[in-house]
Every structure is written in C-alpha cells, then in structure tokens.
Amino acid sequence: MMDLFYTEEENKFRMNLGRFLKAELEPIAEEVENKDEVPFEFLKKLGAEGYMGMLHPKEFGGTAKGLIGNHIVSEEICYYSPATDISRAVSTVYFAVPVNHWGTPEQKRKYLPPVIKGLEFGALAITEPRGGSDAAGMQTNAARKGDVYILNGEKTWISNSSFASFICVFAITNHDVHPHQGMSALIVEQGTPGFKLIRNLRSMGVLGSSHSHIKFEDCKVPKANILGKENEGWAILMDELQSERIDIASRGLGCARRAFEEAVKYSANREQFGRKIRKFEAISFKIADMKVALDAARLLIVRAARMYDQGLSIEKEGAIAKLFASEASFKIADQALQVHGASGYSKDSIIERLFRDTRVYGFGGGTSEIMRFLIQREVYKEFGFEQKK
C-alpha cells in the first residue's frame, strides 16, 4: 500500500526512520508517559540524525524533504509516543516554519540551526485565556518605543514555552485597524525581563509534553526580533497554520495506525464463546471500518502535503485532512478500546493512552468546527459565492 502513496526514496526514508525509532524511542515511550517528562536526550538524537529539519533548507542544517517528509516523521514518532512529537513539531514546524518563511537572513542563521539540531527549542504563542479560535480577538499587544516593542499580555496552553529558548508571540501592534491588518509576530527569547512563566498546565493526555500559561509585563523585545514586517502577523499566522494542520493530521494518523494494529492482533488472538473474536462480525466489521478511515485519512493528508510542497495553497485541503484525520483517529482509538474491552481500559494498555492522546487533535491547530467553517467557505468561493459578513 505504501508504494502507491510514496516514492521509493520516501519509503526507504520511512524504513530507516522506523528502525531508528524502534531502537531509540520505543524503549523509553512508556517512561515518557509515566514520568510526564519531555525526553530531551532523545530529541537531541533525533536532531543529530537529521529528523528535525524536514521543512528547512540544507544551508541551515535541514534536509528539505518538505511537508511530505515531515508527515512521515510525525506519523512514525506518534506510532510510539504522540507526546514526544509535540515537543518536536512545536519547535521545528510551529516556530521554525514562520522563521524560515518570513525571517531575515540574520534571524534564520540565529534561530534555525540550533532548533533543527535539537539543541534548543522554539514555541508559538497564539492562544489566550479569553480566546483560542478567535485569534483576531487577542488582547496581547506590543507598542513600539524606539528600538524596542513593549509587549504586554497573557498566553495559555503554549506548548514548549516552559523550556523553549525562543517563542514566536503574536500581538496587536495597531489598534486603529482590524486585527488582520494590525497584528505582528515577535520572537521573545527565554530570560527576557518581563517574560514570566505563570504555571505549567496538566493535561488529560499526551503526557510527556509541556503546556504552560505565560505572561508578558512590559517585556522589551528588540525591533530586530520582529518577524516579517510590522502588522504582517495575520499573514504569518495563516501561512504557519497550513503546515501545522497537516502535522497534526499526521500525528492522528500515527496514533490511529497503532490503535488499529493493536485491535487486529488482539481480535485475532482473544477467544470468547469457543472461538476467536475476529470471527464475530460485530468485531470484524469494526476492523473494516477502522481500515477504511485509516486509508482515507492517509490519502487526504498526502494530497494536501503534495500540494503544499508544490507551492499551492492548502487552506481547504489542509482543513479537510485535519478535520477527517483528527476525528477518525479518535474514532479508531475508541473502536480499538471497544475491541479490547476491559483490558484496553487498563492503565497498562497502550489503547488507554491512545484513547486519551487522540482527543487533543480535534481542537489543536483549530477546532473541528473551525475546520468545517473554512471548508464550507472555500467551497462557496469556488462556486462564486463570497462569504458575506
């Protein structure tokens, strides 16, 4: 099946990555979950092997394998440890893609190499206590004062922000226009006076990743740290979300594939009423439905990733892939739990973890409701009907 979706080179890349992850990540995956700690040493190994730079130029240490390469990395890491891939992706996709696309040559040289090597980490700060989906309603603001911006506001559920060396923060810099025309992106470095970590947040799933509530109080950010131009933040955010959503969809795919495979193996060995439970259509039909959803999600992800790598906009296709894959991953985990019964509900089961982990994909990177809004809007545009406010 893989041969139909990927080139020979991509399949070879996946196999090599799979061997590396089986040797280096599988043995520590349970420890990451139980200790709820980011595996920094593994991430350094991942960077040393070149798996942190899929979307970045070779001149900065990347491998330039595009979004399709990043999709493979996300899927394969999440097969073993979804939490671990959050730390990787937030740094190398969420933070580093905007730097790669919008940064100055100096910013690229400063921020990309250490992130690609896994020696330092980045974060992206959008969500606020009073708003997530309504990014244009953000309250965080930055006022230009000579050679610095005075940044004030709060952000919450910001992954990696407790340990990231660099945080790309979105803030309003012009209150006289619509936020779409008055938002900017600023790179705040860890240790900058006025930047405060309020608290680390506890989550239901993806244990082993870090999410925090942070605050900026008269935080002085050098004007050299603005990404792109002043008030260009909305365009930067919309650009970043395209790669982020395919990354999230790919994570869901990795989780779903693991849940599906575990369900197949369990149903082929578990006996009830004198026969293997796979012999009951109530079980085997679940396996069939899971397989259909798994393959459909892959096709939608690959389509969007290929388009992105060809320089095409994937606002609609990315939303479709993210919506379907995120919802399918949770449904597949749920079905796998049903197949396993009580044994899957145990804390000792990988299925229990996958059930919790997959739930986050339905709202991270944009809720399913926002994805549906984007899809219908783009469809009506294609038919010549513009969305009227």
CATH number at residue 253: 1.20.140.10
- Which one-letter amino acid corresponds to residue 357? D
Q: Are residues 21 and 83 in the same domain?
A: yes
Phi, psi dihedrals of residue 198, rounded to the nearest 5°:
-75, -55
Q: Are residues 194 and 291 in the same domain?
A: no
Identify the CATH number of the domain in which residue 49 sits. 1.10.540.10
- Sequential DSSP letters for 27-40: HHHHHHHHHT---H
Over the stretch 81-133, which tens digit does the pLDDT of each residue have?
999 999 999 999 999 999 999 999 999 999 999 999 999 999 999 999 987 77
Identify the burial level of 251 via C-beta atoms within 10 angstroms of its C-beta, where 0-12 means exposed, 13-18 middle and 19 or more buried: buried
pLDDT score of 130: 86
pLDDT confidence band for 56 (50 / 70 / 90): very high
Percent with pLDDT over 90 in the chain: 95
The verdict on residue 322 lying in a domain is yes
Q: Are residues 278 and 324 in the same domain?
A: yes
The verdict on residue 387 lying in a domain is no
pLDDT confidence band for 298 (50 / 70 / 90): very high
pLDDT confidence band for 135 (50 / 70 / 90): confident
Over the stretch 321-336, which tens digit does the pLDDT of each residue have?
999 999 999 999 999 9
Question: Among 210, 231, 252, where does a domain finish?
Answer: 231
How confident is the model over 341-347, as a mean pLDDT?
A: 95
pLDDT score of 136: 78
Q: Are residues 349 and 249 in the same domain?
A: yes
How confident is the model over 70-77, as a mean pLDDT?
A: 98
Tell me how far apart the alpha carbons of residues 246 and 325 are, in angstroms, rounded to a whole number. 9
> What residues does 216 pair with on adjacent strands?
153, 195
Identify the CATH number of the domain in which residue 176 sits. 2.40.110.10
Over the stretch 13-42, which tens digit does the pLDDT of each residue have?
999 999 999 999 999 999 999 999 999 999
Q: Are residues 136 and 114 in the same domain?
A: no
Q: How many residues does the chain have?
A: 389
pLDDT score of 2: 60
The verdict on residue 212 lying in a domain is yes
Residue identified by tokens 């990988």 is 350
The verdict on residue 161 lying in a domain is yes
Tell me how far apart the alpha carbons of residues 175 and 147 are, in angstroms, rounded to a whole number. 20
Phi, psi dihedrals of residue 21, rounded to the nearest 5°:
-70, -35
- Whole-number mean pLDDT of the chain? 96
Question: Among 120, 149, 165, where does a domain finish?
Answer: 120
- Which one-letter amino acid corresponds to residue 187? I
- Sequential DSSP letters for 251-280: HHHHHHHHHHHHHHHHHHH-EETTEEGGGS
Q: Are residues 258 and 220 in the same domain?
A: no
How confident is the model over 194-210, as a mean pLDDT?
A: 96
Tally of structural domains, the chain:
3
The verdict on residue 273 lying in a domain is yes
pLDDT score of 389: 59
Tell me how far apart the alpha carbons of residues 83 and 88 are, in angstroms, rounded to a whole number. 9
Q: Are residues 244 and 368 in the same domain?
A: yes
Q: Are residues 240 and 291 in the same domain?
A: yes
Tell me how far apart the alpha carbons of residues 268 and 259 are, in angstroms, rounded to a whole number. 14
In this predicted structure, the answer to whether residue 1 has a pLDDT above a threshold of 70 is no
The verdict on residue 389 lying in a domain is no
As a whole number of Å, the CA-based R_g of the chain is 21
- Which one-letter amino acid corresponds to residue 39? P
Q: Are residues 127 and 92 in the same domain?
A: no
pLDDT confidence band for 386 (50 / 70 / 90): confident
How confident is the model over 211-235, as a mean pLDDT?
A: 97
Question: Among 178, 210, 231, where does a domain finish?
Answer: 231
Query: Cβ(19)–Cβ(76) under 8 Å?
Result: no
User: What CA–CA distances, in Å, run from 204 to 28, 33, 58?
Assistant: 20, 12, 38
Residue 384 C-alpha from the chain's centroid:
33
The verdict on residue 112 lying in a domain is yes
Q: Are residues 271 and 358 in the same domain?
A: yes
* Domain carrying residue 203: 123-231
Query: Cβ(225)–Cβ(187) under 8 Å?
Result: yes
Q: Are residues 316 and 345 in the same domain?
A: yes
- Sequential DSSP letters for 82-141: HHHHHHHHIIIIIIHHHHHHH--HHHHHHHHHHHHTTSS-EEEE--BTTBSS-GGG---E
For the record, the structure tokens of 336 come out as 């796998």
Over the stretch 154-177, which tens digit does the pLDDT of each residue have?
999 999 999 999 999 999 999 999
Query: Cβ(142)–Cβ(184) under 8 Å?
Result: yes
pLDDT confidence band for 4 (50 / 70 / 90): confident
The verdict on residue 388 lying in a domain is no
Tell me how far apart the alpha carbons of residues 293 and 23 are, in angstroms, rounded to a whole number. 29
Tell me how far apart the alpha carbons of residues 301 and 110 are, in angstroms, rounded to a whole number. 32
Residue identified by tokens 């397989």 is 291
Q: Are residues 130 and 100 in the same domain?
A: no
pLDDT confidence band for 137 (50 / 70 / 90): confident
pLDDT score of 387: 65
The two beta strands, 211-222 and 226-227, are: unpaired
Q: What's 165's DSSP letter?
A: S
Query: Cβ(32)–Cβ(39) under 8 Å?
Result: yes
